[in-house]
Amino acid sequence: MKSNNNVMPFPEKSLKILLAEDNSINKIVIETILKKKGFRVTSVENGKEVLSGLEREYFDLILMDAKMPLMDGLETTQEIRKQEKTTGEHIPIIALTASAMKEDMDKCIEAGMDAFISKPIEVEELWQTISKVVRESSSWTNDDFCINLSKAMETVEGDKELFQELIEDFLTLFPKQLSGIGEMIQKKDSRQLQKRAHSFKGAVASFGAERAYELVVELENLGKESRMDAALEVFKRLKEEMIHVKDYFAENKWEEHVL
Protein backbone atom coordinates (compact mmCIF):
# COMPACT_ATOMS: atom_id res chain seq x y z
CA MET A 1 0.00 0.00 0.00
CA LYS A 2 1.34 3.41 -0.93
CA SER A 3 2.25 5.80 1.84
CA ASN A 4 -0.01 8.81 2.40
CA ASN A 5 1.36 11.55 4.64
CA ASN A 6 -2.09 13.13 4.98
CA VAL A 7 -4.05 10.19 6.36
CA MET A 8 -4.12 11.63 9.90
CA PRO A 9 -5.90 15.01 9.77
CA PHE A 10 -6.86 14.92 13.46
CA PRO A 11 -4.59 15.90 16.38
CA GLU A 12 -2.68 12.66 16.99
CA LYS A 13 -1.56 13.25 20.57
CA SER A 14 -5.11 13.88 21.72
CA LEU A 15 -6.34 10.35 20.96
CA LYS A 16 -6.69 7.98 23.90
CA ILE A 17 -7.05 4.38 22.75
CA LEU A 18 -8.17 1.21 24.52
CA LEU A 19 -6.50 -1.79 22.87
CA ALA A 20 -8.12 -5.18 23.52
CA GLU A 21 -5.81 -7.99 22.35
CA ASP A 22 -5.10 -11.28 24.14
CA ASN A 23 -2.10 -12.33 22.03
CA SER A 24 0.94 -10.89 23.81
CA ILE A 25 3.05 -10.53 20.64
CA ASN A 26 0.27 -8.83 18.69
CA LYS A 27 -0.41 -6.56 21.67
CA ILE A 28 3.22 -5.44 21.90
CA VAL A 29 3.44 -4.81 18.14
CA ILE A 30 0.19 -2.83 17.88
CA GLU A 31 0.82 -0.88 21.08
CA THR A 32 4.31 0.09 19.87
CA ILE A 33 2.94 1.28 16.51
CA LEU A 34 0.27 3.39 18.20
CA LYS A 35 2.60 4.95 20.76
CA LYS A 36 5.16 5.86 18.10
CA LYS A 37 2.39 7.85 16.40
CA GLY A 38 1.83 9.75 19.63
CA PHE A 39 -1.33 8.02 20.88
CA ARG A 40 -1.96 7.23 24.54
CA VAL A 41 -2.69 3.52 24.83
CA THR A 42 -4.18 1.30 27.53
CA SER A 43 -4.06 -2.45 26.83
CA VAL A 44 -6.38 -5.18 28.10
CA GLU A 45 -6.76 -8.87 27.25
CA ASN A 46 -10.49 -9.63 27.18
CA GLY A 47 -13.95 -8.12 26.93
CA LYS A 48 -14.58 -8.02 30.65
CA GLU A 49 -11.47 -5.86 31.07
CA VAL A 50 -12.73 -3.59 28.28
CA LEU A 51 -15.99 -2.96 30.11
CA SER A 52 -14.15 -2.38 33.40
CA GLY A 53 -11.79 0.07 31.70
CA LEU A 54 -14.68 2.06 30.24
CA GLU A 55 -16.22 2.36 33.70
CA ARG A 56 -13.00 3.88 35.06
CA GLU A 57 -12.03 6.33 32.34
CA TYR A 58 -12.82 7.97 29.02
CA PHE A 59 -11.43 6.66 25.71
CA ASP A 60 -11.71 8.10 22.21
CA LEU A 61 -11.45 4.76 20.42
CA ILE A 62 -11.35 0.99 20.99
CA LEU A 63 -9.29 -1.42 18.91
CA MET A 64 -10.99 -4.75 19.65
CA ASP A 65 -9.77 -8.25 18.86
CA ALA A 66 -12.80 -10.15 17.60
CA LYS A 67 -11.83 -13.38 19.38
CA MET A 68 -10.77 -13.18 23.04
CA PRO A 69 -11.18 -15.40 26.10
CA LEU A 70 -13.90 -14.90 28.74
CA MET A 71 -15.79 -12.39 26.58
CA ASP A 72 -15.06 -11.95 22.87
CA GLY A 73 -15.04 -8.74 20.87
CA LEU A 74 -18.48 -9.22 19.34
CA GLU A 75 -20.19 -9.83 22.67
CA THR A 76 -18.31 -6.94 24.25
CA THR A 77 -19.29 -4.54 21.47
CA GLN A 78 -22.93 -5.57 21.78
CA GLU A 79 -22.84 -4.81 25.50
CA ILE A 80 -21.20 -1.42 24.90
CA ARG A 81 -23.81 -0.47 22.30
CA LYS A 82 -26.57 -1.59 24.68
CA GLN A 83 -25.24 0.69 27.40
CA GLU A 84 -24.87 3.58 24.96
CA LYS A 85 -28.59 3.52 24.23
CA THR A 86 -29.14 5.02 27.67
CA THR A 87 -26.24 7.51 27.51
CA GLY A 88 -26.55 8.72 23.91
CA GLU A 89 -22.81 8.31 23.45
CA HIS A 90 -20.97 6.39 20.73
CA ILE A 91 -17.37 5.29 21.08
CA PRO A 92 -15.77 4.20 17.78
CA ILE A 93 -14.81 0.51 17.78
CA ILE A 94 -12.51 -1.05 15.19
CA ALA A 95 -12.42 -4.85 15.00
CA LEU A 96 -9.06 -6.60 14.74
CA THR A 97 -9.66 -9.91 13.00
CA ALA A 98 -7.44 -12.66 11.65
CA SER A 99 -10.17 -13.67 9.22
CA ALA A 100 -10.64 -11.92 5.90
CA MET A 101 -13.88 -13.79 5.16
CA LYS A 102 -16.83 -11.54 4.36
CA GLU A 103 -19.08 -13.52 6.71
CA ASP A 104 -16.83 -12.79 9.70
CA MET A 105 -16.47 -9.13 8.80
CA ASP A 106 -20.24 -8.80 8.45
CA LYS A 107 -20.63 -10.21 11.96
CA CYS A 108 -18.36 -7.45 13.29
CA ILE A 109 -20.50 -4.75 11.71
CA GLU A 110 -23.73 -6.41 12.84
CA ALA A 111 -22.41 -6.47 16.41
CA GLY A 112 -22.01 -2.69 16.26
CA MET A 113 -18.38 -2.22 15.30
CA ASP A 114 -17.62 0.77 13.08
CA ALA A 115 -14.92 -0.85 10.94
CA PHE A 116 -12.50 -3.76 10.84
CA ILE A 117 -8.84 -4.37 10.09
CA SER A 118 -7.35 -7.72 9.14
CA LYS A 119 -4.34 -9.07 10.97
CA PRO A 120 -1.42 -8.89 10.49
CA ILE A 121 -1.87 -5.13 10.69
CA GLU A 122 -0.84 -2.90 7.78
CA VAL A 123 0.21 0.42 9.26
CA GLU A 124 -1.24 2.70 6.59
CA GLU A 125 -4.56 0.86 6.66
CA LEU A 126 -4.60 1.28 10.42
CA TRP A 127 -4.07 5.07 10.15
CA GLN A 128 -6.71 5.45 7.47
CA THR A 129 -9.28 3.41 9.37
CA ILE A 130 -8.69 5.24 12.65
CA SER A 131 -8.97 8.59 10.88
CA LYS A 132 -12.22 7.57 9.18
CA VAL A 133 -14.06 6.22 12.24
CA VAL A 134 -12.94 9.02 14.54
CA ARG A 135 -14.09 11.68 12.10
CA GLU A 136 -17.43 9.92 11.62
CA SER A 137 -17.99 9.59 15.36
CA SER A 138 -20.77 11.84 16.64
CA SER A 139 -18.59 12.99 19.53
CA TRP A 140 -15.85 14.45 17.30
CA THR A 141 -15.69 17.26 14.75
CA ASN A 142 -12.80 18.96 12.99
CA ASP A 143 -12.84 21.76 15.52
CA ASP A 144 -14.01 20.50 18.89
CA PHE A 145 -11.70 17.50 19.25
CA CYS A 146 -10.75 18.37 22.84
CA ILE A 147 -14.14 19.61 24.07
CA ASN A 148 -17.37 17.87 25.03
CA LEU A 149 -19.49 20.89 24.21
CA SER A 150 -22.79 19.29 25.19
CA LYS A 151 -21.51 18.69 28.70
CA ALA A 152 -20.10 22.22 28.87
CA MET A 153 -23.41 23.82 27.89
CA GLU A 154 -25.24 21.79 30.52
CA THR A 155 -23.39 23.75 33.22
CA VAL A 156 -25.07 26.97 32.07
CA GLU A 157 -28.37 25.37 30.98
CA GLY A 158 -27.73 26.37 27.38
CA ASP A 159 -27.25 30.08 28.11
CA LYS A 160 -24.79 31.16 25.40
CA GLU A 161 -24.29 34.68 26.75
CA LEU A 162 -23.43 33.42 30.22
CA PHE A 163 -21.16 30.78 28.72
CA GLN A 164 -19.29 33.46 26.75
CA GLU A 165 -18.75 35.48 29.93
CA LEU A 166 -17.38 32.43 31.71
CA ILE A 167 -15.07 31.71 28.79
CA GLU A 168 -13.59 35.20 28.95
CA ASP A 169 -12.92 34.81 32.68
CA PHE A 170 -11.45 31.36 32.17
CA LEU A 171 -9.08 32.46 29.40
CA THR A 172 -7.80 35.23 31.64
CA LEU A 173 -7.36 33.14 34.78
CA PHE A 174 -6.25 29.68 33.70
CA PRO A 175 -2.66 30.54 32.61
CA LYS A 176 -1.89 31.67 36.17
CA GLN A 177 -3.45 28.52 37.61
CA LEU A 178 -1.47 26.37 35.19
CA SER A 179 1.73 28.22 36.04
CA GLY A 180 1.06 27.61 39.73
CA ILE A 181 0.81 23.88 39.15
CA GLY A 182 4.10 23.92 37.26
CA GLU A 183 5.75 25.86 40.05
CA MET A 184 4.72 23.27 42.64
CA ILE A 185 6.15 20.50 40.45
CA GLN A 186 9.46 22.36 40.20
CA LYS A 187 9.50 22.78 43.97
CA LYS A 188 8.53 19.10 44.43
CA ASP A 189 5.76 20.21 46.76
CA SER A 190 3.37 17.25 46.48
CA ARG A 191 0.80 18.64 48.92
CA GLN A 192 0.42 21.92 47.05
CA LEU A 193 0.40 20.10 43.71
CA GLN A 194 -2.55 18.03 44.87
CA LYS A 195 -4.34 21.14 46.14
CA ARG A 196 -3.80 23.25 43.02
CA ALA A 197 -4.62 20.40 40.64
CA HIS A 198 -7.85 19.78 42.54
CA SER A 199 -8.81 23.43 42.15
CA PHE A 200 -7.99 23.48 38.43
CA LYS A 201 -9.90 20.23 37.88
CA GLY A 202 -13.23 21.93 38.49
CA ALA A 203 -12.47 24.67 35.99
CA VAL A 204 -11.62 22.39 33.06
CA ALA A 205 -14.56 20.11 33.87
CA SER A 206 -16.97 23.05 33.56
CA PHE A 207 -15.87 23.59 29.96
CA GLY A 208 -16.04 19.95 28.88
CA ALA A 209 -12.27 19.73 28.42
CA GLU A 210 -12.25 15.99 29.00
CA ARG A 211 -8.67 15.15 28.10
CA ALA A 212 -7.38 18.10 30.10
CA TYR A 213 -9.56 16.95 33.00
CA GLU A 214 -8.02 13.46 32.92
CA LEU A 215 -4.52 14.92 33.00
CA VAL A 216 -5.35 17.20 35.93
CA VAL A 217 -6.82 14.25 37.82
CA GLU A 218 -3.62 12.34 37.12
CA LEU A 219 -1.58 15.22 38.53
CA GLU A 220 -3.82 15.40 41.59
CA ASN A 221 -3.29 11.70 42.24
CA LEU A 222 0.46 12.00 41.72
CA GLY A 223 0.54 14.77 44.30
CA LYS A 224 -1.55 12.70 46.69
CA GLU A 225 0.85 9.76 46.27
CA SER A 226 3.97 12.00 46.38
CA ARG A 227 5.08 10.66 42.99
CA MET A 228 6.68 13.87 41.81
CA ASP A 229 9.06 12.09 39.45
CA ALA A 230 6.19 11.40 37.04
CA ALA A 231 4.44 14.76 37.38
CA LEU A 232 6.57 16.78 34.96
CA GLU A 233 5.75 14.64 31.92
CA VAL A 234 2.02 14.73 32.71
CA PHE A 235 2.22 18.51 33.15
CA LYS A 236 3.82 18.88 29.71
CA ARG A 237 0.91 16.99 28.17
CA LEU A 238 -1.54 19.15 30.10
CA LYS A 239 0.05 22.35 28.77
CA GLU A 240 -0.23 21.03 25.21
CA GLU A 241 -3.88 20.15 25.72
CA MET A 242 -4.66 23.55 27.21
CA ILE A 243 -3.28 25.20 24.07
CA HIS A 244 -6.01 23.39 22.10
CA VAL A 245 -8.63 24.39 24.66
CA LYS A 246 -7.54 28.03 24.56
CA ASP A 247 -7.52 28.17 20.76
CA TYR A 248 -10.95 26.58 20.55
CA PHE A 249 -12.61 29.06 22.88
CA ALA A 250 -10.55 32.14 22.01
CA GLU A 251 -11.59 31.84 18.36
CA ASN A 252 -15.26 31.25 19.34
CA LYS A 253 -15.33 27.97 17.40
CA TRP A 254 -17.77 26.58 19.94
CA GLU A 255 -20.58 28.84 18.64
CA GLU A 256 -20.65 26.91 15.36
CA HIS A 257 -21.82 23.79 17.21
CA VAL A 258 -24.48 25.28 19.47
CA LEU A 259 -27.99 25.83 18.15
Last residue of a domain, one of 136, 162, 186: 136
Residue 55 has pLDDT above 50, yes or no: yes
Position 10 scores a pLDDT of 44
- Examine residue 6 and state whether it is found in any structural domain, yes or no: no
- Examine residue 5 and state whether it is found in any structural domain, yes or no: no
- Examine residue 110 and state whether it is found in any structural domain, yes or no: yes
Position 137 scores a pLDDT of 65
Same domain, 123 and 163: no
Confidence of residue 138 (pLDDT cuts 50, 70, 90): very low
Q: Nearest-CA neighbor of 21 among 53, 44, 51, 48?
A: 44
Decide: helix, strand or coil at residue 186. Answer: helix
Position 187 scores a pLDDT of 94
pTM (predicted TM-score): 0.53
Last residue of a domain, one of 82, 102, 136: 136
Last residue of a domain, one of 136, 170, 185: 136
Cα–Cα distance between 171 and 119 in angstroms, integer? Answer: 46
Same domain, 88 and 126: yes
- Examine residue 2 and state whether it is found in any structural domain, yes or no: no
Position 2 scores a pLDDT of 33
Position 207 scores a pLDDT of 87
Same domain, 27 and 101: yes
Same domain, 126 and 25: yes
The domain that contains 62 carries what CATH number? 3.40.50.2300
Structural domain count of the chain? 2
**Domain hosting residue 153, numbered range:** 149-257
Same domain, 170 and 250: yes
- Examine residue 91 and state whether it is found in any structural domain, yes or no: yes
Same domain, 126 and 171: no
Same domain, 113 and 17: yes
Cα–Cα distance between 217 and 205 in angstroms, integer? Answer: 10
Same domain, 58 and 125: yes
Decide: helix, strand or coil at residue 212. Answer: helix
Same domain, 129 and 153: no
- Examine residue 113 and state whether it is found in any structural domain, yes or no: yes
HEC letters along 42-92:
EEECCHHHHHHHHHHCCCCEEEEECCCCCCCHHHHHHHHHHHHHHHCCCCC
Residue 255 has pLDDT above 80, yes or no: no
Phi and psi torsions of 74, nearest 5°: -65, -45
The tens digit of pLDDT for each residue in 1-46 reads 333 333 334 444 458 899 999 999 999 999 999 988 878 899 999 9
Residue 117 has pLDDT above 50, yes or no: yes
Same domain, 247 and 168: yes
Same domain, 129 and 160: no
- Examine residue 143 and state whether it is found in any structural domain, yes or no: no
The tens digit of pLDDT for each residue in 148-178 reads 777 788 888 888 889 889 999 999 999 999 9
- Examine residue 3 and state whether it is found in any structural domain, yes or no: no
Same domain, 81 and 165: no
Whether the Cβ atoms of residue 46 and residue 71 lie closer than 8 Å to each other: yes
